[in-house]
Structure 1
Amino acid sequence: MDRLQAMQVFTRVVDTNSFTRAAETLDLPRASVTTIIQNLEAFLGTRLMHRTTRRLSLTPDGAAYYERCVRILADVEETEASFQSGNKKPHGKLRIDMPGPIGRLLVIPALCEFHQRYPDIDLQLGLSDRPVDLLQEGVDCVVRVGALQDSSLVARRIGLFEGVSCAAPDYIARAGMPTSLEDLDNHKAVNYFSSRTGRTLDWAFLVDGKEVEVKMKSIVSVNDSDAYVTCGLEGFGLIQPALFMVLPHLQSGQLVEVLPKLKPLPMPISVVYPHSRHLSPKVRVFVDWIAELFDRCPLLSGRGSLDATCTKRTFEERESAPMLDTPVISEWIA
């Protein structure tokens, strides 16, 4: 029995709380995972976990063995990395998850650059806005917007997510231009509701350094960012999307900014990964690279304006591109 592999399989089963998910993240047949755990328990002469059709739970021996396995595997990885760093480039599969528009607009156009630097990294890029359990799903790191909710994770801030309040000219012609937060009581908005909770998300402004939330009335609510912006373009009401998402529409006049002196509450953009004494080389280089990438993008680094661009291709060149699949800011909190 390969005891190191057995430790890796056992810790992954515990982290994912599933034999099936562990097998998927390790690229092993599920039957192999089951066999390895059975052989490990036989070798140790103790039961490590209780298994039912619904859940897994560690025995006292299993909990103690898990803690030691985590330390041993971290030491092995750190030792290997210390020798590889000087003579070998980072390699292996790297699983990343990030919001769709950030991936499509900023990251994917620059991936050739990353691949040229690190040709031995097999990048598996997930584009989603749902909360990702890094340990259970075997994801190495995620890019998310908002405050870090899980204290067991590490967040490195790489940018700032700025929103904009806007509407179609046709809507402004019918309803008038709001000039204060009080005026919003007389306006309709396209509301966005969370796919996870069903809760309608309030608008948030930064006023004199403090967050002010405004509950908007609407005649339509959606839970899809493409539909959200489309409804705004069609004149259903005010919208408050990400600035980089609707910049082409603002530049072309299809949307008009409202309340320009009252900015939506900005939120930090972070790359998030599990806490560990040692960050694997492949994760470290990706984190450093994406931080560099965001720093080159005014719209996502806190230096945004209606004249800013981010990628090699300007936003003017992308005006005819399909609309970005981006939820409003608050929905991106991990």
Structure 2
Amino acid sequence: MQPLPTLISATALAPSAVAELLNDTRRIVVVGAGGWVGRGLLRSLHSALGVDAFSERVSAFGSSSRMIDLGDAISIAQRPLDELACLHPQPTALFHLAFLTKDKVAFMDRDEYRETNRALSSNVLEALSAIGADRLFVASSGAAAFADDPSAGEDLRIYGTLKREDENRFVAWAEADTGRRAVVTRIYNLTGPFINKHEAYALASFIIDALAGRPIFVRAPMQVVRSYVAIRELVSLVLCQLLGSDGAPVCRYDSGGEVLELREVAAEVARVLGGTVVRAPITESVHNIYTGDAETYASLLEAAGIASVPLGQQILDTAITIAPDLHLR
């Protein structure tokens, strides 16, 4: 097993993103700050800006008032979303990460699920002008591509439809006034520290098997194809696109990454963490494919001067916050 990296290195932004961040003076507001992406983003910003500048420039909002643990004894205050519009107006880059995820569909009334997510989006949208936001990141989902797919599961279609609505609402905001800029990314599969809901992600289950000294099982009876990007890589790209001196009013794209079948993903986990792979027989002819536009994403990284994080490193970075839960770090 290769040694796990430090949390600092696993959340380090690309040099070009750090340069844009330090050259810019905008306030940074993170909505949905307590989730996986939010915590990864906040830790990256904390490391890049330093304690004082982070405290001056970054504000975190979520469903309630609480402290967010960023690891290494670092914690920051989260304010409730209904206080967002109370921020004093100044040039602001807002990261919109607030959304009830797809897994919530199974446990909620469908109409309540829709209304709750639409209300979240409305709260953010209505606050943008009031607080002076002129840069916006919308964390969409690859599920948006399945909104009208009759073969997709109901939960994926409901979630995807709402995500697509979210995209269009905020694109319209960006296009309504000169000087605004929105980056909308359909995120397919992420990796990195602060991963949550381990049972929902194949990669997390593979890492858990490897760390626990068990064979890494790929149980799917069909071919399952995925592509992964590191949160720190995606955040670096978004910062360059939001804060760079030049940019279109709207930039929409998919997350990318190397396209792999889960057997290949499991094999890479075994290579970096140790272990063996057991692949269940493939007995179904319909493939499960959930990947973005890797070519376009790679070209955007290149234009921003950002090196992609190899999957092996992504696995090590992701294991950082899984290992302590297993008492194996």
Compute the TM-score of the two structures, normalised by the length of structure 1: 0.30
Larger radius of gyration: 1
